[in-house]
Amino acid sequence: MATFASVGVLASLGAAAGVGLAAGGCAYAALSPRSRFFGAALIAPLQPGELALTFDDGPNPVWTPRLLELLAVQQIRATFFLLGSRAHTAPDLVRRIVAAGHLLGNHSWDHPILALTPRAHILEELRRTSDSLEQITGRLTRYFRPPFGARRPAVLLAARELGLLPVLWNAMTSDWNEPSAQRIAARLTGKIDRLARRGRAANIVLHDGGHLDPRAYRAPSLTAAGMLIARYRATHRFVTLDAWDLTAPGEFATGN
């Protein structure tokens, strides 16, 4: 989840700390993932017929089960970037996500602004989450999405030290505070269609959870997900992010 307020914080504190952060880049991946400062990140390849639905900040004991039901009916697999603190308190729900064939990712333990976090704390956030997910599922976690998209070289270096592949996105809107599913779906549809015209797949972010509220209301996000599936399932292939893992590094791009 990202907010315009967090962008301002990152811009001012980042400049003061001399870490070379740019406001838009921290929250919305405006900095190129091929930057020599940040390194590569998985976003989306040059495959315009593919869509990856990804969900952040869960698991949510109220809305994640409903999302799983929606995806099961539609026979769609998605990628869930989980908060370690949420997963730790809902292990059965985490196992249910995996049993349904969905992919898990590391979204940190409790959603700090990692770009402003000391390196030791970054490692602790990521290691603790990966360890918890492995203990719950018996599987290693491969993918990592930084909260707010906020990163600096130390964040990506820590991720790679733990065997995590950094992941960003190229299609997101403020679904976490938008009450209209129609507006969420319309904004994402516009982004997806623009990406397709540029010959690129879409890595879509929606939220089934919330870092401030473990039971955050997510009905609009789930309804919007259903609308996107209905619109694109006949013309596009829905994939989990591991389908793009072997894409050549030169094809990693924001698509914005």
233, part of any domain? yes
Provide the pLDDT for residue 37.
Answer: 56
Query: What are the tens digits of pLDDT across the range 64-76?
Result: 999 999 999 999 9
256, part of any domain? no
Tokens of 86: 């949420």
DSSP letter string, 26-70: HHH--S-TT-TTT---B-B-S-TTEEEEEEEEE--TTHHHHHHHH
For residue 56, what are the CA distances in angstroms to 12, 159, 255? 26, 17, 20
89, part of any domain? yes
Q: Which of 102, 107, 111, 207 is catalytic?
A: 207
Q: What's the average model confidence in pLDDT over 86-104? A: 98
112, part of any domain? yes
Residue 167, domain CATH: 3.20.20.370
Tokens of 3: 């907010």
User: Is-contact 137 177, C-beta < 8 A?
Assistant: no
Which ranges constitute the DSSP H helices of 82-218? 84-89, 91-99, 119-137, 153-161, 181-197
35, part of any domain? yes
Residue 3 predicted with pLDDT over 80 = no
Using alpha carbons, select from 62, 60, 129, 71 the residue that is nearest to residue 101. Answer: 71
More confident residue, 199 or 15: 199
Q: What's the average model confidence in pLDDT over 132-153? A: 95
Provide the pLDDT for residue 153.
Answer: 87
Helix (H) or strand (E) holding 69: helix 63-74
199, part of any domain? yes
Active site residue 57: no
Identify the weakest region by mean pLDDT among 25-34, 63-72, 130-139: 25-34
Q: Does this model's pTM top 0.75?
A: yes
Query: What are the tens digits of pLDDT across the range 199-251?
Result: 999 999 999 999 999 999 999 999 999 999 999 999 999 999 999 997 444 34
- Domain with 108, as residue range(s), is 4-251
Q: What's the average model confidence in pLDDT over 70-93? A: 98
Q: Which of 56, 57, 175, 208 is catalytic?
A: 56
195, part of any domain? yes
188, part of any domain? yes
Residue 188 predicted with pLDDT over 60 = yes
Active site residue 88: no
Domain count, the chain: 1
Provide the pLDDT for residue 36.
Answer: 39
